[in-house]
Amino acid sequence: MDSRSLIAQVSNLPLLAALVVDPGSDPECREDVLSQGIQVGGPNRFFDLLRPQLSTAAAKNIQPWVNEVRDRMSRPHAVVDALSISYEDMSRQEALAVIARITNDLRRGVPWTKVYEQYSEEFSYPPVPKTGDRTKIGLLGSLVIFPDPALGSGHMAEVTFSSGGSQDKVVQWQGTPLPRHLWGLAYFDPAHLPTLLKASVGDVISVPSEINHEYVLYQVQEIYKGNAENRPQ
């Protein structure tokens, strides 16, 4: 098991906060720990735990990393659950009708997990031995989004490869490689960022993504306003 997979299983927030500023951890592990802490605890809770750690003697030994963390804490964040419907899988009229139904259920208070299970099953494809169960309702997962200059440097795209007389299609990143802390946002459309950062907890927002050729529906789970006091001097 590599370190990234191991860190992804840790949910102890005080431990994660301590590891973010641990001089004995390598830089990639510290980045992964920061992302995991925010994902597990949410930015408000995890940044509150992390803030006192940044002034310790140990933290001062790992500059410029600590300033990078302070900069991250100064930015607004939104935690959202997201699903998508590809333009290829439904007509615009059908997709918007399905999104309207999902939106109504979420606004009535039906839990996200239950809503996704219901609609992914209703709009599933017949099982195929080669590809397994598939659905027209794509799950983008729980995303922690925040402003970053590297967002928009590329996007995921379907690429066709020829091999042995046959053609295979795969989805891969096109553009400047994303930095490690943005790997979880490979499928996120940066054009949606301003709208989501202005939202409130509980909002259900649907927007098209021309980059990814899909309709996306978000439910906002948490908003972190950012803290200018954390910005490096």
Q: Quote the pLDDT of residue 128.
A: 66
User: Is there a contact between 228 and 107 (Cβ–Cβ < 8 Å)?
Assistant: no
Secondary structure of the chain as H, E, C letters: CCHHHHHCCCCCHHHHHHHHCCCCCCHHHHHHHHHHHHHHHCHHHHHHHHHHHHHCHHHHCCCCHHHHHHHHHHCCEEEEEEEEEECCCCCHHHHHHHHHHHHHHHHCCCCHHHHHHHHHHHCECCCECCCECCECCEEEEEEEECCCCCCCCEEEEEEEEEECCEEEEEEEEEECCCCHHHHHHCCCCHHHHHHHHCCCCCCEEEEEECCCCEEEEEEEEEEECCCHHHCCC
Q: Quote the pLDDT of residue 63.
A: 87
pTM over 0.85: yes
pLDDT in tens, the chain (233 residues): 588 889 999 999 999 999 999 988 889 999 999 999 999 999 999 999 999 988 876 677 888 999 999 999 999 999 999 999 999 999 999 999 999 999 999 999 999 999 999 999 999 988 765 555 789 999 999 999 999 999 989 888 877 777 666 777 778 888 899 999 999 999 999 999 999 999 999 999 999 999 999 999 999 999 999 976 655 55
From 81, 216, 186, select the one nearest 143 (Cα to Cα). Answer: 81
Q: Quote the pLDDT of residue 151.
A: 93
Query: How many residues does this entry show for the chain?
Result: 233
